[in-house]
Every structure is written in structure tokens, then in C-alpha cells.
Structure 1
Amino acid sequence: MKNIFIGLIAVWGLFLVSCETREPMAEVIERGLEVSKRQAVFLAKEVENQEGRLPRTYEGGELKTSDYRAWISGFFPGVLWYLYENTPTDELKRYAELYTERVEPAKDMTTTHDLGFMLYCSFGNGYRLTKNPYYLEVMTMGAESLATRYDERVKAIKSWNSSEKWQFPVIIDNMMNLEFLSYLAKTTGEKRLMNMADSHAQTTLRHHFRDDYSCYHVVSYDTLSGQPHFKGTHQGYADRSAWARGQAWALYGYTMMYRETGKAEYLEQARKVASYIKNHPHLPDDKIPYWDFDAPDIPAAPRDASAAAVMASGLIELSQLDKSKEGADWLELAEMQIRSLSSPEYLAKPGTNGGFILKHSVGNYNKNSEVDVPLSYADYYYVEALLRLKKLQNEN
């Protein structure tokens, strides 16, 4: 036990190198992945005997979990699969399989648009790495469940159910679930799934963005005309503010859709959103955004590490797809964000933070829910970004 403790201190102590010299990016990546692995295994052991439970956050000294029905259910299994991809050990694979299995009942849910988050991050990564046909079967059923939420008149996938305020609400987050449909379309030959994803992205492109390329969080459509009747927010500061994670979803989503379709308008949109983020006067020097770019209490407003992790991962991919001179700018910004996220300010010391990897994320500030806490999706996109950077390093 003593040797393990000494090892943990040694891993964290590597960061001290950067106090005197600039730590090489390759070392930042390896340090981040090592801490991530230790934290993920620690957390997996903590929840292993809690049947059906999946890690959500760590708040007030207490580990909070969810079951398969939560939109975040697929992220922790996804973290484990990514770490297994980087370091293929029996332990990581066993835990990845265990926690993936806990998400399986989500395949039959038709009440949520988040099946991409839930099933693609877990079963999708599992299938990519193991080619287990059962994983593909689960995803195929899940994609059909998600397809029930597509409306031909609106030409989009319904995010939340109707209410007094919203007839057919679509949130910018929904862009992230389109990769699930695209993947299943390519893998199974079910082209209508790709058509749904493409139509949703086109509808969102037309109605979700302002002239400065910031985006609304929620756009609700009239079910008769198919046109918007409401544009505003649910989790941002105000209807016309730029909720940080929403901008991150937009950046990542359109980058991904360009990769999947090759359509120039998606690349252009991703570039415009990236430029908005990069040049925003309220983006702090360490490039970890406030929870909303227009929060009234900046610079005292909470930071959102989850938004930074999503941005960094999206920017890394965009830097490879964008052949203009700005491609290098996107990679530079992503590396700055990864350096900050891998600093003691945001990266947990092994054995702390309830086993989560990153500190200082914001779930829903407006409801005082999960504010300044670790979040499973922050960890997922951080590890994804590290692996994307590592791949680039190995190619160069």
C-alpha cells in the first residue's frame, strides 16, 4: 500500500517540472492519462458493487450516482474504454464491460434525445475496440428508439417533451447525438438515419445561431408550420447570452458533421464558432471559460471545465479538418486548454475528488445543480482530447 501511495505522489509530482520549464506536450498528455487511469479505476472499484449505478459527480464529500436513465450514463463507461484503448489491461476491460452493461436498458427509451451520449459513448467505443456483435445490436435498437423523436415537418429530433412553454424544443446539445445516427447509418446501411442527422444539423444551422455565430440553447418549433416560435435558454444566463457548454456543443457538433458528410457549410460553421470562442473578450487567459460568456459576475463567475474539455476535443479535430491557415490556431488553443486542465487547478490529485478526473465544472447553474463540482462528461471529453492529441503527436 505504501508503494502505491509513493507512486501516486510521484505521478503528480511530475507536474513540478513545469514550474521551472515548459512541460513538453507529450509529457502533459502522458501525465494526464496516467492520472485519469488511476482515478477511473479508483472510482470503478467504489461503485462496482452498487448494482446498476453509474458515477455522476462528487459533491459535499459524497459520491453521487445515477442509473441508465440519466443522460450522463454512458460517459463513465466511455472513459474506461478510452483508457483501455490507451493501456489495454484486463482490469480496464473488465470494468469497461461491467459499466457498459449497466447502460443497456437505455436502448428502449423513446423519451430522450440523449441516446447518443448514453449508448455511443459506452457501447460505441466498446464495439469499436472489441467488435462484440452484441454491442452493435444494442446500438441498432437504440438508434431506432432515437429515430422515433424525428419530425418530418420540423426536420429535427425533438429534445425534450412538449410543455406550456415549448411545443417542439430542440437544444444545441442535440448536435452531439447525431454522430450516433451517422455511425449506425454507415455500419448497418440504414441511410435514413444519416438523412435524419443531416436534416437536424441543417435545421439547427438555420435557426440556432446569431449573427456573431454564438448560439441559443433552446429553439422551439411550431409543430404546424415547422418554424421557430421561441428562441432562448434553459441553462444559460439569459435568452441571448452565450452559455459556454452550448458553444462547445456547437463547435464539436459541426466539426463532427463535416467529418461525417464532407459538407462545406458544416466546416464553415465550426470555424465561425471556434473563432467566436477564441476571440471572445471574456475568455480567460487560461482558456477555461466561465459557465456563461455573459455571466454578470465575471470574473467571479464559476469556470466550467466540462465546456473547456469539449471545446479542446472539438478544436483538435477541427485543426486537422480545416486546411486554412487558421487550422494551427485551433490546435494552439486546444493545447492551451489541455495544459490548464492538466494543471493542479483542474486536474485532481490521485485519490481525491471522489475518483473523478477534473475539478470545477458546472452542470446547471440556474438551478444551483452541480455547480463547481466534477462531472463525468468533463472527464470523458478530457480523456478523448488527450488521446486525440497523442495520436497527432505519434503521427508527427
Structure 2
Amino acid sequence: MTGQGVPLRRRVLVVIVSVIALAVVLFLVPLAVAVSLLFHDQTVAALQRDAAWVAAAVPDEAPAALKLPTGLPGDLAVGGYDVSGFKMFGDGPAFSGLARAGRDGRVHDAVEGDLLAVSAPVPSDEGTGMVIRVATPNTEVEERVHQAWLLMAGLATFVIALAAGVAVHQSARLAAPLERLTAAAQALGGGDFSIRAAPSGLLEADQAGQALESTARRLGAVLSRERAFSADVSHQLRTGLTGLLLGLESALSRPGADLAPAVRAALTRGERLQEVIDDLVRLSRDSHAPAEPLDIDDLMEELRREWHGPLAEQGRRLTIAVQPDLPSTSAQPAAVRQVLRVLLDNALRHGRGEVAVTVSDVGPGLAIEVGDHGPGIAEGTDPFVRSSGDSHGIGLALARSLAEAEGGRLVLSRAGPPLFSLLLPGRHDS
């Protein structure tokens, strides 16, 4: 099938067995040749001893009265030849080139016919006058060589089979971690972020598994935050849209009412909702955008313009106090603006009396506090926990996640009357 490679198990098995087989062959062929030469040389050496013994025992008298010495192996063919190579007595061919070569007074060996033969000169006072030829069937030597080769072939087969067994085990050991990583990656692609990498004992595979596990955890955390962020944003948008629709429905339900104020209020709420949408879309797209210096005075003036009217409609005051000589801080203005909108919206909907916004120096950073004179948060209740029946819990959860994304914190400094504090870290100028 196109796009598919050779499985690792098979590749490791083939490589290991091929290398071992090649090594065995490269070792076995020279060894086989050496064994063949060794057996040949051993046989020749034995024949040379026998030929020298017979040559030393042959007397100088006439060959007709010659008696060969006893004690020789029964499969030896012993014969006496003159220096011309013709047989004088004993066993062997009528003419022997090997015997003729012995007239130089040296020992010679060769294969004649199906016999391995050795010639040895008979020493005399007049030089070489006779040559003793000793021969043995060459098939016996070949049989010994073949038996040794068969033994080596069996040993080589055993070594290759043993190597194949080791290769199967090793290939399984190497492939198993990769197969588990493949299954984990497929599970991760299917949305399972709880994968765990089991240790395999292989450093590289364990490092890859740990990296995949770490990636799965990070992706799971990011996806959880994105889902929570989407749910919180949906709540914020529905809240603003519900207020806009309720205002229009209320105006329409009053016969003869002047619709111009309702339309203007709807436009104001629509513009505010548009700003919320723009800020949230920007934050969702630029979650890793670099922070910029935060202009507290501009931000507070923006809050005054936006929330003075809605609070005044309820007969409530909005006071903003900014401490002088504040430390500089860096954050995305859209994120800080949304956090303060959530706090002021909760004060508008659930609080009472005057709403106070205070910006003060807290050492390494600054704190923006929003409080009112309402009943506050019930004891034992976490205002930042999302709950389907608690609308401001959802908004505060969004505000806290935005604050943490900017490196700050949103805390409940006082439960009743409620006081929330947005803590932002100071900016370190290089």
C-alpha cells in the first residue's frame, strides 16, 4: 500500500539476522578452507612418516628378497619404484610420476587417481636408487573434511537461529514502545488528554512518551480553559443582549410612550455590547499578545462615562479615587476593562448604595478595588465557582481567568459589604 513503510519489528529482525548470517559466512568460509587444508596436511604428514619409515627399513639387497616392515595401516598401498618411476615391487600403478619426482632426493606428495600419495627416496651410498611410494584413499580425507563442514554448517545454523530468536525479542522490545506511542498519539488525536506514557526502559522512547504526555496535559488544560472561556463569554453576551431586549420590550408595552429614550438606551447598550464583543474576540485571538503599559487615568475615565448613567438611574453614586504616584503596570487594556465591567455589573445588579472604585499602590504592583454597600457574599460560598443557578458566579469566573491570564489575581477582599480587588503586577523597566 502506498505510503506505508516496513514495520520496525520486521526491519530489526531482517537487519540483525542478515548481519549475523553475513558474519557467520565470512568466518565460516575461511574456516572451512582451513579445515580442509588441515586435514590434508595431517594426512600428508602421516603418509610422510610412514614413507620415511619404510624407506629407512628397506635394505640394499635385491628387491626380490625384500620384505616390507610390519605394523603399517591396512589401507595403505606401499610400493617401491626406481628413479624412472616404474614399479619394482609392492602395490601401486606400474608407473608413478610422483615416484619419478622423488629421484631428486626429496619427499613429494600428490593425488594420483583416487589416492593421496607420498614418495620418499631410499638413502644409499650411491645416491637415490629407489623411491618408496605410500598412498591412501583420498575419499577418506574428503569424508573427514565433509563431516567437519557438516558440523560447522550445523553450528552456523544454530547460531543464526539463536540470533533470529534474539532479534525477535529485541525487535519486539524496540517496537512495543513506539506502538504504544502511536496508540497514545491516536488517542490524543481523538480527544483523550488523559494518556500516560508507561516506562519502557529505552531512553529515547521514554523521552518521547514523556513529551507526548506533557503535550496532552497542556492541550487538555488549554482546551478546558477555552471551553470555560467560551461559556463565560456566552453568558456575558446573553446578559447584555437580554438587558437590551428587555428595555425595548418595556418601552413597547407602554401605550403612547415616547420611544426615543428607549431607542437611545438600546443604542447605548448595543454600543456597549459591541465593545464587549470586540474586547472578547480580541482576547480570544491574542491570548499570547504582549502586554502594554496600562493608562489608569484613561481607564477610570472610560469607566466613569460607561457606568455613571446606569447607576444614576437607580439613584446610586459612582465614586472613583486614584492614588497619586502609582507604580507602572503592563496588561492588555481589553482584559482589565472586561474584569472591571464584570465587577461593576455585579455591583449594579446585586449591590446597593454607592459603588466605589479605588486604585492604590500595593508595593510591587497596584490594586483596583470595587465595592458597594450590598449584602455581599454568603458565608461559605465561593463567588468564583461557576453555577448554573448563579449568574454572577459565571461572570466572576470569567473575570478571574482574565486576571490570571494577565499575571494578576482577582480576590474577594471582603464578603460583606462586598469588596473585590484586582491585583496587577508592576512593570519592570529595563
* TM interval, short-chain normalised: under 0.3
Structure with a larger share of its residues in strand? 2
| TM-score, normalised relative to structure 1 | 0.23
- Give the structure with higher Rg (CA): 2
Greater RCO (Cα-Cα under 8 Å, separation 6 or more): 1
